[in-house]
Amino acid sequence: MMRPIAASTGESFSRAAMRAVLPLTLAVIAVLFMIQRRGTERVGRLFGPIMILWFGTLAVLGAILGAFYPALKAAKQDPIEALAYE
């Protein structure tokens, strides 16, 4: 189960920003429930393109990291093989 507040928290935030986490989380949940009242299809239409953009960004950044840091990719497969890239 995913906790909604987990998407809004982080260790690098200042104290002032941390005070905004709970209100921000509650606002996001309230907006989702208001939209969902009209049907989950609308929620899907809203978040579908956002999720495609998010996962596409992760894929591109992962490919860039793999291209520039092959040792990182090799270390995930075999630690001995990663030494060959160092």
pLDDT in tens, the chain (86 residues): 445 555 555 555 566 667 777 888 889 888 888 877 778 787 788 888 989 999 999 999 888 887 887 766 666 666 676 666 66
Residue 16's domain comprises 1-37
Q: Does pTM top 0.85 for this prediction?
A: no
CA distances from 29 to 3, 11, 48, 57, 84 (A): 11, 22, 17, 24, 48
Note whether 44 and 86 are same-domain residues.
yes
SS3 state at 2? coil
Note whether 58 and 79 are same-domain residues.
yes
Are the C-beta atoms of residues 34 and 41 closer than 8 Å to each other? no
Note whether 86 and 64 are same-domain residues.
yes
Note whether 33 and 69 are same-domain residues.
no
